[in-house]
């Protein structure tokens, strides 16, 4: 009987089995690596996110205008973020965002502090206050005839300066008290000098009301001198109300110049 096919040899069968085994091992290694990488990726995805720090506060402070005449107002405007406690020097605790009108009596640095969970932030703004210079009183014509020393009156006005008042007020502000203390020191050191204090007002209001207000302003200045050691008998007061104006313009800076207690030598 004739067979048309062939029977594989023993060596061929062994090689085939070896190749199949190597292929199976290689596939297993690939599959194992894939599973390991996938497991690692899954583990990484479940790792907790890094903790984030709370944002720091921010603060801005502006003033409009930045320079005013004494007696005029300034508008402060502030804005903060991420702040739980906001304070402004001179105003105390304020809301995180706000606006306020102030009337500083001297040049001032306004300071804001914003505190929050994320820390503390500060900001500053400076407002300049222009203080009018008190006009000097012209010397009497009798000074030359009596041969008096004109320099002494100049020194008097350098040390005894007029005191200015707020609108509709006869209370001395901080600058007024400082001027009174300086004037009293000079007068105590020169006990022969006698003083006239004139009370003045701006031109708003009735004549009768301003005469009373001018007298109160002059007496307030007198009281400040007496409390600082100047004898009462050395001081006279007189009110001019609104009858004599140092400035005639209808502006706040001009009105401020007219609201004063003026010091003059009592000859």
Whether residues 114 and 159 share a domain: the answer is: no
Instruction: Give me the number of domains the chain comprises.
Output: 2
Residues in the chain: 267
Indicate if 159 and 261 belong to the same structural domain: yes
In a domain, 80, yes or no: yes
Tell me the mean pLDDT in the region 111-135. Answer: 84
Is the domain of 216 the same as that of 153? yes
Q: What is the pLDDT of residue 251?
A: 85
Enter the pTM of the model: 0.44
Average pLDDT, integer, range 8-29: 60
235 Cβ neighbours under 8 A, 6+ residues apart: 194, 195, 196, 197, 222, 225, 226
Q: Which residue has the higher pLDDT, 41 or 246?
A: 246
**Residue 20 vs residues 16, 24, 28, 227: alpha-carbon distances, Å:** 6, 6, 12, 118
Q: Which of 133, 139, 91, 129 is CA-nearest to residue 113?
A: 91
Is 18 domain-assigned? no
169 and 115 belong to one structural domain? no
Looking at the structure, tell me whether residues 121 and 91 fall in a common domain: yes
Domain shared by 243 and 154, yes or no:
yes
pLDDT level of residue 182 (50, 70, 90 thresholds) = very high
d(CA 217, CA 238): 10
pLDDT of residue 3: 44
11: in domain: no
Q: What is the mean pLDDT of the chain?
A: 80
For residues 197 and 220, membership in a common domain is answered with yes
Shared-domain flag, residues 146 and 253: yes
Paired sense of beta strands 119-130 and 108-116, if any: antiparallel
Q: Which two tokens stand for residue 228?
A: 């600082």
Domain boundary among 97, 130, 163: 130
Assess whether 180 and 123 both reside in one domain: no
199: domain CATH number is 3.30.1330.60
Q: Identify whether residues 251 and 182 lie together within a single domain.
A: yes
Q: Among the three residues 79, 101, 130, which one is the final residue of a domain in this structure?
A: 130
Co-location of 152 and 259 in the same domain? yes
pLDDT at 51: 72
Per DSSP, helices labelled H in 190-263 are 207-227, 252-258
- Residue 45 counted as domain residue: no
Task: Give the tokens for residue 110.
Answer: 């306004």
Here the CATH number for the domain that contains residue 64 is 2.60.40.2470
User: Is residue 34 situated within a structural domain?
Assistant: no
Residue 231 has pLDDT above 50, yes or no: yes
Q: Is 65 left (phi over 0), alpha (psi -120 to 50) or beta?
A: beta
Please check whether residue 150 lies inside any domain of the structure. Answer: yes
Q: Are 213 and 170 in contact (CB under 8 A)?
A: yes
Choice among 21-30, 70-79, 189-198, 221-230 with the minimum mean pLDDT: 21-30
**Residue 234 and residue 179 share a domain:** yes
Listed residues 87, 108, 130: the one ending a domain: 130
| 122 CB neighbour count, 10 Å cutoff | 12
> Which domain does 87 fall in, by range?
58-130
Residue 50 has pLDDT above 80, yes or no: no
Residue 104 lies in a domain: yes
């Amino acid at each position: 009987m004739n067979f048309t096919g062939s029977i594989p040899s023993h060596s061929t069968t062994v090689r085939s089995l070896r190749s199949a085994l190597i292929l199976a091992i290689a596939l297993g290694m690939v599959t194992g690596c894939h599973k390991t990488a996938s497991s690692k990726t899954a583990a990484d995805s479940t790792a907790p996110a890094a903790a984030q720090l709370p944002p720091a506060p921010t603060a801005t402070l502006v003033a409009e205008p930045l320079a005013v005449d004494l007696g005029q107002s300034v508008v402060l405007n502030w804005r903060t973020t991420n702040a739980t406690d906001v304070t402004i020097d001179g105003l105390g605790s304020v809301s995180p965002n706000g606006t306020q009108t102030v009337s500083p009596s001297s040049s001032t640095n306004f300071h804001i502090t914003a505190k929050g969970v994320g820390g503390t932030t500060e900001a500053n703004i400076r407002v300049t206050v222009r203080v009018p210079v008190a006009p000097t009183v012209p010397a009497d014509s009798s000074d030359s005839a009596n041969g008096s020393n004109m320099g002494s009156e100049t020194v008097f006005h350098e040390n005894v300066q007029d005191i200015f008042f707020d609108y509709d007020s006869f209370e001395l502000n901080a600058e007024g008290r400082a001027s009174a203390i300086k004037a009293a020191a000079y007068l105590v050191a020169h006990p022969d000098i006698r003083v006239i204090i004139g009370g003045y007002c701006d031109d708003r209001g009735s004549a009768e009301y301003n005469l009373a207000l001018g007298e109160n302003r002059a007496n307030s200045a007198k009281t400040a001198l007496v409390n600082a050691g100047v004898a009462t008998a050395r001081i006279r007061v007189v009110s001019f109300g609104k009858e004599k104006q140092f400035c005639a313009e209808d502006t706040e800076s001009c009105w401020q110049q007219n609201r004063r207690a003026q010091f003059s030598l009592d000859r």
